[in-house]
């Protein structure tokens, strides 16, 4: 069995392992868009698909339009550091 173990060991030495480079979690495309994966009920997906078809839009365009029209915009501000402590974040609606 020793000869078999040596063969396996030598076979793995010839192969080089590649490390994967870290990819951004949500890469921004050249057109300023990001990818999003949603899990929604089948009925809601069907409604989006029908609206997209009737309005000659994509589901992505409809979701973007809904977000722009119905979601409040928030701004995150950071207060300056005080005596060596980290700054504090505060979220306020526009």
C-alpha 91 chain-centroid distance: 22
Q: Are 61 and 52 in contact (CB under 8 A)?
A: yes
Helix (H, G, I), strand (E, B) or coil at 50: helix
Residue 62 lies in a domain: yes
Separation CA 87–CA 80 (nearest Å): 5
* Count of structural domains, the chain: 1
Confirm whether 75 is domain-assigned: yes
Cα(12)–Cα(2) distance, rounded to whole angstroms?
16
**Res 70 pLDDT > 80:** yes
- Domain with 74, as residue range(s), is 37-80+90-94
Average pLDDT, the chain: 77
- Give 47 or 6, the one with higher predicted confidence: 47
The torsion angle over the Cα atoms of residues 14, 20, 21 and 23, rounded to 10 degrees, is: 160
2 domain-assigned: no
pLDDT-above-90 percentage for the chain:
36
pLDDT tens, 8-39?
555 555 566 777 666 655 566 778 888 889 99
Which pLDDT score, from 0 to 100, does residue 85 have? 57
Threshold 0.85, pTM exceeds: no
The answer to whether residue 1 is domain-embedded is no
For residue 24, is it within any domain? no
């Amino acid at each position: 069995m020793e000869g078999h173990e040596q063969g396996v060991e030598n076979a793995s030495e010839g192969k080089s392992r590649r490390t994967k480079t870290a990819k951004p979690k949500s890469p921004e495309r050249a057109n300023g868009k990001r990818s999003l994966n949603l899990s929604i009920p089948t009925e809601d997906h069907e409604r989006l698909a029908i609206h997209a078809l009737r309005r000659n839009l994509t589901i992505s365009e409809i979701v973007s339009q809904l977000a722009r029209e119905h979601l409040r915009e928030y701004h995150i501000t950071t207060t300056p550091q005080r005596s060596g402590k980290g700054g504090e974040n505060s979220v306020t609606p526009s």
